[in-house]
Amino acid sequence: MAIALVTGASSGIGLAYARLLAREGFDLVIVARDLPRLNKIAKELNKAYKIKVQTLKADLTKPAQLAKVESRLANKANPIAVLINNAGFGIKQSFIDSDLKREQELLDVLVTAPMRLTHAVLPTMIKQNNGIIVNVSSIASWIAGGTYSAAKSYLTVFSEYLNNELKGTKIKVSALCPGFTRTEFHERGKMRMNGLPNFMWLDADKLVAKSWKDAQKNKSVSVPGLQYKILALIAQYAPRPLVRKIGINVRRKQR
């Protein structure tokens, strides 16, 4: 049975992706820092879908722990067919006021980890000429909304590049670029979101279903929700001074 590995699988989009892949019949390797929570999820998924679930505790800001996940992805005897690079977090403070250690951790999780994990899994996928990689980016990757936006820009462009580089193979790479989603993300970042209207919130299960369909069609970028498709077009094609102004205003309201 094919195996999928999901980072940040203990909640939110990562958990939604783990459930979707379990329903699709994949065995799973789920990765996060909270091992008790991972073990609970593993038992639930095993019971509901009769699949094998391996839990892997890893803090992706720690090189030795990141290396454990790389090692699993590079295992040719028990190959990974699907990689979901989902782990991430945001920083509430402006870069001017933020903690440098926290900024470095953001780069480690949002940029370094997906790059290294993708690099680890690709040789086996190329040898087998099969595989799917989804990098969970953000609608923020097209606006100037702080270092989070900058990191997500890397993920979107990286995915577009790989999608094009691997044309002619059966390996599919897609960037999922959602907008505001009902998860623990904003609560953990202590961001103020009470002013956001209901129609701007996305459901994690629905956006993951859309992402998976787009990834299977080898779409380089997946933007769930009509409201965010419109915003993505504005962010990509509107004059950059306007986009920068919108980006900084959104960030200030979150603080």
Distance of CA 29 to the CA centre of its chain: 15
Catalytic residue check, 148: yes
Please, which residues have CB within 8 angstroms of residue 230's CB and are 6 or more apart in sequence?
Answer: none
Lateral strand order in the sheet of 171-176? 53-57, 27-32, 3-7, 82-85, 131-136, 171-176, 221-222
Whole-number Å distance between alpha carbons of 38 and 227: 33
Q: What's the helix, strand, coil split of the chain in %, to 5?
A: 55, 15, 30
Whole-number Å distance between alpha carbons of 225 and 222: 10
Which of 174, 173, 181 has its CA nearest to residue 206? Answer: 181
Catalytic residue among 17, 49, 148, 154: 148
Q: Tokens 């962010």 — which residue?
A: 235
- Active-site residues: which are they? 148
